[in-house]
Every structure is written in C-alpha cells, then in structure tokens.
Structure 1
Amino acid sequence: MTKTMPLPAAVRVQELTRTYDVAGQPVHALAGVDATFVRGTFTAVMGPSGSGKSTLLQTAAGLDRPTSGRVFVGDTELSGLSETALTKLRRTKIGFVFQLFNLIGALSVEENITLPLRLSGARPDRRWLSEVVDRVGVTSLLQRRPSELSGGQQQRVAIARALAVRPDVVFADEPTGALDGQTASDVLALLRSIVDDHGQTIIMVTHDPVAASYADRVLLLADGRVVADTPRLGVDRIAAQLASLGRRQETAA
C-alpha cells in the first residue's frame, strides 16, 4: 500500500496569542490558534467583528508580532527574525492584497507592480511579470495611473503587485469589500484561477459567504479561537454557520 506524503505547509501558526491593552484591561484578540495552510490551497478566514480574523492575518504575514506562539512561513520561523530580516522576508516571500488597494498614485501601474522588487533590490523577471500582468488582465493599463482605473482594475493591479515577487503565500484582507458585485465575482474568480493554475497559496479574510465559497476551506474564528475548520462549502452552508455562531454569541451574552 502506497503511503501518501503530507503536502508541505506554506504557513503554520502554533499556539498563537495576541493580547492588547485597552484602557488598562487585556483584550485577547487571539487565544491560542493552531492552523496549517497547505501550499497550493485557498483558505477563507471568517468570523464576527472582533473574532480575531484580521489579527490572525496580520500576525501570520509578519505585519504584527504575536504575544506568544510561533509563526512559520515555509520553514522560516518569524519570531526569531530581526525587524530588518522580517522586512526582507515580507518583501520576498509574502504578497498582500488590501481592501483599499494601497496603490501609490504618483506611480504608473507598471511601477506599482514592480515596487516590491525594487524595494528588495531584486532584478525583475520580465518573463514572469509579463505572465502575471497578462493573467490578471492589466497588460493594456501599464502606463496609466491608479486614478485612471476603476476599482476592479485597481484591485487587479494590487493582485499583480502581490504576485510579482513569486511569494510563498498571498494574504488578502477583504479584497472584494470595496467592489460591486460583478467586479467582486471577477476578482474572486481570478484568485481561484491563480490557485488552480499556478499552485499559489491564498489566505483571505472575508465576511462575505459568497467570497468564502470560492475557497477550498473555511476557517471560522470566534473570540480569538478556531471554532470550525471545514472543506469547501456552498454559500448557504457558510451563511448558516455564521448565523449559528451569531446566535450562540447572543445567547452567551
């Protein structure tokens, strides 16, 4: 009998905690989260406001330091890195897609896409960049400024920027939150195809069951803990899970 080898992890978090001081009182944004994100998969992280989903994304991406616990990107543990080494890792191993795009208005589309490469001192792989801009559909927009683009076009540029460095993982924070329904569907289909066609790993925070339905897996958080970890679900089942969690929280309150 052939033994199946486990797929390698793009990101792992172990016993992850993050505590903030608010008016002299500790607030536990993360309370011991364990999760593994396998390479070549698309995970949606969901939960009510204050559940810890954005904090999980930020700590896993190295944008915030955990109070305790361990974060691995590939085989590299982030807690042992200096700020300089952590910045270098984020520029070379991690792509980030923001809800409000975070493009630089004074730069062209092409300059925005290649900015992470310039900041890291890396030589652009023109063949890869050409493939990326073609794949996300912005080849004809390279000389324009962000102000000349629609919201959907700006988000496509942001995705191309995240992919430009060939990252181990792309983190997306509510990437469709500022888009209309049809444009959001187009962007989600693009993210799905990047996983399927290029083996990219995507971890996406979203509040939208429709967006989450594009993912291979839904990780549901509440009160800083993982309360459900399920394979790909339809929109109705995701919405039902969220509604059930909301009712439990109301009862507990």
Structure 2
Amino acid sequence: MATHAVRLNAVTKTYGKEVYALRGVTVDLPRGGFTAVMGPSGSGKSTFLHCAAGLDTPTSGTVHIGETELSRMNETQLTELRREKAGFVFQAFNLIPSLSVVDNVLLPFRLAGTRPDHAWLAEVIERVGLGERARHRPSQLSGGQQQRVAIARALVTRPEVVFADEPTGALDTQTAAEVLALLRQVVDTTGQTVVMVTHDPVAASYADRVLFLAGGALVDEVYAAGPETIARRMAVLGRPEAVRC
C-alpha cells in the first residue's frame, strides 16, 4: 500500500495561455496525517484542493489518490473514485433540509446505490457528538452541529482522504474550535487523512503540517507550528515579492 494518501507530481493548472493557478506543484500528503494548505488570495489554494480531489483536471502533471492515478480516468470513473475514496467538507454545510441527521449522513450510499455498515454509521454519529440528535433536521441544529453532520457524511464511507475547504469559515470562534478539534481527533483516533484549505492561522495550527502557496507555487512548509508562527509566514507571503517566488 502506498505511504501517501495523495501525491501531486509537477502539477500545473492554467486558464487560457497566461493565467497560472498552479505552477509545477510536487508534494506527497501522507496517510494518517492532517495537512493544512494556506496562501494569500489567488495563491491557488482552492485549485490545489480541487486537483488533489479529482474535482478538476490539471493542465499537466499527475495526481494520485493512494495508488490510483486520476489522469487516466474518465468522468464516470472519477465520480466513482470520489464516492469511494474521498470525503468532502465545505464551508457551506450542503445538507438537505427535509432529511434527518442520519439520512443526510447516508446520502453517499443512496447516491452510489450501496448499503451502509450500520454499526459504523452509529459509531460515526456518536464520534461527531450527534447521537442524541440523529433524528433532528438541519433547521433544529446549530451551525456547528450542521458542520458535524457534514463531517460524519464525509467519514461514513471510510474514505482514503477527507478534503476540507474552509470548513470553519461560516462558524464563530468557539464553534470553529470544536469542529477543528473534531477533525484533529478523527486523525488521531482513526488514522484518517485530512487535507484542509484555510485562511486562518489558528485553524491551520491544528494540522501536523502546513503547506504555503504563493503565485500557484509551493513556497514553504512548517510542521507542528503555532498560530503565531503561521501568521508570520503568511504576512511574508502577502508581500508582492513573495508572489513571484
């Protein structure tokens, strides 16, 4: 089994002839790790996540999830791969208002036409702290609880990697801390892999490793860093000369 959950090799993404969203990014994201991706606005963070997750296709270079190379797959195969090997958590919770917590968590199985492991389903709902609210609808939950439903939905298929795009962007500080602690716990207790794009140094400090992008290029990384260290590095990346790296 590959030691990486995700591998990008010389990945470039261009729009038109001159707009580079990514410039030759090469990086391995290890299994069982929590990686945060940061950078100034327009640095390529979202494009990085979309290419890594198979939501977008690089202009050149290769992307692997586990041992599977995405560039060799058609759209139908990519859709199946995302259902089987990737979980997604976004800033918008993307819950269906008419469905209960349990039914929202079960959506990936309904879409795939497969049966869930009910013991694992129950465990995941307990892990995210919603055991007593399993039959509630989204309108009966707080924002933080709705994001917990989204995290449970991402975990219930046992994906190789969970991709999170600004998962705390719509939450207040205390609720955001609870959600980030949950993601940290998921990595530490189940060996899950999490890749998170964020603009927040505090959120990034929950990760084992922080990758910094500027001008579409991977320019730096830090390990086990606190919010102050991350914020200082981000301040440097915000300068014009950093974007030309």
Question: Normalising by structure 1, what TM-score?
Answer: 0.93
Amino acid at match of 1:165: T
Distance 2:120 2:61 in 1: 36
> CA deviation digits over 1:104-142, x for unaligned, max 9?
122221111010012112210011111100000111222
Query: Aligned match of 1:10 in 2, 5, 9?
Result: 5
TM-aligned CA distance change 1:247 to 1:160, over 3 Å: same
1:196 and 2:188 aligned: yes
Structure-to-structure mapping, 1:101-112, within 5 angstroms? 101-112=93-104
1:88 and 2:83 aligned: no
TM-aligned CA distance change 1:145 to 1:9, over 3 Å: same
Distance 2:74 2:140 in 1: 39
Amino acid at match of 2:14: T
Give the corresponding residue for 2:177.
185
State the 1:247 CA deviation.
2.7
Distance 1:33 1:102 in 2: 30
Structure-to-structure mapping, 1:42-61, within 5 angstroms? 42-61=34-53
Instruction: Determine if contact 1:7/1:38 at 8 Å carries over to the other structure.
Output: no
Distance 1:148 1:54 in 2: 31
State the 1:72 CA deviation.
0.3
State the 1:251 CA deviation.
9.4
State the 1:62 CA deviation.
0.7
- Name the count of aligned residue pairs: 244
1:211 and 2:203 aligned: yes
Secondary structure of residue in 2 paired with 1:14: strand
Query: Aligned match of 2:63 in 71, 76, 79?
Result: 71
State the 1:26 CA deviation.
2.8
C-alpha RMSD over aligned residues: 1.5
Instruction: Determine if contact 1:19/1:26 at 8 Å carries over to the other structure.
Output: yes
Give the corresponding residue for 1:99.
91
Distance 1:231 1:69 in 2: 26
Instruction: Determine if contact 2:89/2:165 at 8 Å carries over to the other structure.
Output: yes
Secondary structure of residue in 2 paired with 1:233: coil
TM-aligned CA distance change 1:173 to 1:124, over 3 Å: same
Instruction: Determine if contact 1:117/1:164 at 8 Å carries over to the other structure.
Output: no
Give the corresponding residue for 1:136.
128
Secondary structure of residue in 2 paired with 1:104: coil
Give the corresponding residue for 1:3.
none
Amino acid at match of 1:20: Y
Residue ranges of structure 1 left out of the alignment (5+ in a row): 1-5
Superposition misfits of 4+ residues, deviation over 6 angstroms: none
1:119 and 2:111 aligned: yes
Give the corresponding residue for 1:220.
212
Q: Among the aligned pairs, what percent are the same residue?
A: 62
